[in-house]
């Protein structure tokens, strides 16, 4: 599973932090994606990201952004692939 943090109208987000149940998991200075492999039952929960966007009001400034929470539910750790 990969979570991606995006800004409004797909604007670039920098210094991204990902949270699970409001606990910070990681802070990324370069990148906007967080991957889980192998996916496990404890990865279930409410995720959100926070970061910085280029300001739409003041050129050269950044605005803090926060995503809406996303709920992830892992039902089974034993995934199989079929062709």
Domains defined along the chain, listed by start: 2-72 (2.60.40.10)
What is the pTM (predicted TM-score) of this model? 0.82
- Average pLDDT in the 5-32 region? 92
Average pLDDT for the chain: 87
Q: How far apart are CA 68 and CA 61, in angstroms?
A: 23
Paired residues of 18 in beta bridges: 26, 49
Q: How far apart are CA 2 and CA 34, in angstroms?
A: 6
Q: What is the pLDDT of residue 77?
A: 64
Distance of CA 45 to the CA centre of its chain: 13
Q: How far apart are CA 70 and CA 23, in angstroms?
A: 14
Is residue 79 predicted with pLDDT exceeding 60? no
Handedness of CA 1, 72, 10, 7 (dihedral sign): negative
């Amino acid at each position: 599973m990969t979570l991606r943090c995006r800004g409004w109208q797909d604007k670039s987000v920098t210094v991204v932090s990902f949270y699970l149940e409001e606990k910070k998991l990681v802070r990324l200075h370069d990148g906007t994606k967080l991957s889980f492999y192998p996916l496990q039952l404890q990865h279930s929960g409410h995720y959100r990201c926070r970061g910085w966007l280029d300001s739409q009001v003041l050129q050269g400034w950044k605005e803090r952004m926060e995503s809406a929470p996303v709920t992830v539910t892992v039902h089974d750790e034993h995934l199989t692939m079929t062709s």
